[in-house]
Structure 1
Amino acid sequence: MTGSIYIDYNKALHKGLKLIKSKENPNFGLLIICGINLGLRIDDLLQLTFDQLKQDSFTIEEGKTKKKRTLKVNDAIKNALKHFEDDITYQLGGSPFTSQKGSVYSVQHINRLMKKYFKGKVSSHSLRKSFGRRVWLNDNQSERALVYLSQLLNHSSTHTTRTYLGIQQEELDNIYMNL
């Protein structure tokens, strides 16, 4: 586990869309949006192609675990992709996560960009954590969400998932107080 923090989902989505629409760094903007909506490790995220993202769902084999995982392309990703339709790389189905030089981003470069665009102790892993936090919050911070996330993120237990997501004891206490 890394020491990186999660980023608020809405803040990350807004930043990603801003980078795309302003053309300041559209490929990195798309990486942010895919990262917070797919929950992949950065090495798996960088392997994706426009052809995969154009589909409603696709299956990958995760690099770290070698497990197959089917991913759904949600509306946030589909809306971001609309801004790339005139891009030749989009039309040919190539890698969406490339630098201005045309090579696929390195993890180090992504980490530098994360620090540039977000405050705090962020890294490429913050996108995956943001996905997890969003799922947990959308399901009313439920134990069920932690069970699903534990499976989805390939954690050994929900305790690991709680720690990973940065869920604090006070938040856990609040669940009981709000019953």
Structure 2
Amino acid sequence: MNVVNPIRCKKQLEAVKGYLRGKNKRDYLLFMVGITSALRISDILSLKVNHVWDGKKPAEFIELNEKKTGKYKRFPVTPNLKKAIKEYMAEYDGCPDDYLFVSRVGKNKPISRQYAVMMLNQACDMVGVEESFGTHGMRKTWGYWAFKSGISLDYISIALNHRSIAETKRYLGLLQEDLDNIYLQVNL
């Protein structure tokens, strides 16, 4: 299994958003859900339209039971995510019980994990993201930017359903970054 990384540069993060937004609203929404929710790809792909849209406007919260842990998860729909949902729904012509990220292949099936990986890698390549990125990179991106925004690792660890803060630090690549900064600070 390849190790993936978060997108650590805001300009690159915005560039990926812009690229996907201009290319395909469904793929843009998938990326937005991924970077604003800390969900795993299996949970993102299982979302139905009625998870995010009440028939007239975006939902205030998204609620589900995580596939991997079975734990209940609820998170608010951020203003940026609301915009992405509105843009997608303006072009949507399916049913509320359909998968949100419906594939063009088959009847009411979500896109595949493989398609999601390929789509994300293509977007990252197009905007110059050099580090390895994949579907799990969206979850890591959320955690990384939550930390950079000053959110306590305690809360980030809870949101990611990690057992410890040390696990969260490793997961986000913060241990190596912290060690690098220590060497730079000592500067003998």
TM range (shorter): 0.7 to 0.9
- Tell me if the contact between 2:62 and 2:76 (Cα under 8 Å) persists in the aligned partners: yes
TM-score w.r.t. length of structure 2: 0.79
Question: Cα offset for 1:172?
Answer: 6.1
Matched residues in 1 for 2:9 and 2:71: separation? 26
- Whether 1:133 aligns to 2:144 is yes
Q: State the identity as a percent.
A: 25
Structure 1 vs Structure 2 CA RMSD: 2.4
Rg larger for: 2
Q: 1:107 aligns with which of 94, 107, 113?
A: 113
Matched residues in 2 for 1:2 and 1:66: separation? 25
Matched residues in 2 for 1:93 and 1:133: separation? 33
- Tell me if the contact between 2:20 and 2:123 (Cα under 8 Å) persists in the aligned partners: no
Matched residues in 2 for 1:4 and 1:156: separation? 20
Matched residues in 1 for 2:180 and 2:32: separation? 26
Residue-by-residue CA offset, 1:92-143 (whole Å, 9 max, x unaligned): 353221233363111111111121111331110000000001111111xx6x
- Tell me if the contact between 2:35 and 2:141 (Cα under 8 Å) persists in the aligned partners: yes
What amino acid is the match of 1:37? T
Which structure ranks higher in relative contact order (CA pairs < 8 Å, sequence separation ≥ 6)?
2
Change in CA separation of 1:131 and 1:66 when aligned onto 2, cut-off 3 Å: same
- Tell me if the contact between 2:65 and 2:73 (Cα under 8 Å) persists in the aligned partners: yes
What amino acid is the match of 2:3? G
- Tell me if the contact between 1:46 and 1:97 (Cα under 8 Å) persists in the aligned partners: yes
- Tell me if the contact between 2:38 and 2:142 (Cα under 8 Å) persists in the aligned partners: yes
SS at match of 1:71: strand
TM-score w.r.t. length of structure 1: 0.83
Match of 1:94 in 2: 98
- Tell me if the contact between 1:13 and 1:32 (Cα under 8 Å) persists in the aligned partners: no
Residue-by-residue CA offset, 1:44-100 (whole Å, 9 max, x unaligned): 1111122211210132111111111111111011011121224113x6353221233
Match of 1:3 in 2: 3
- Tell me if the contact between 2:19 and 2:123 (Cα under 8 Å) persists in the aligned partners: no
- Whether 1:122 aligns to 2:121 is no
Change in CA separation of 1:154 and 1:97 when aligned onto 2, cut-off 3 Å: same
Matched residues in 1 for 2:82 and 2:18: separation? 12
Match of 1:165 in 2: 172
Match of 1:62 in 2: 66
What amino acid is the match of 1:159? A
Structure 1: which 5+ runs fail to align?
Answer: none
- Whether 1:16 aligns to 2:17 is yes
SS at match of 1:92: coil
Structure 2: which 5+ runs fail to align?
Answer: 53-57
What amino acid is the match of 2:114? Q
Matched residues in 2 for 1:107 and 1:33: separation? 16
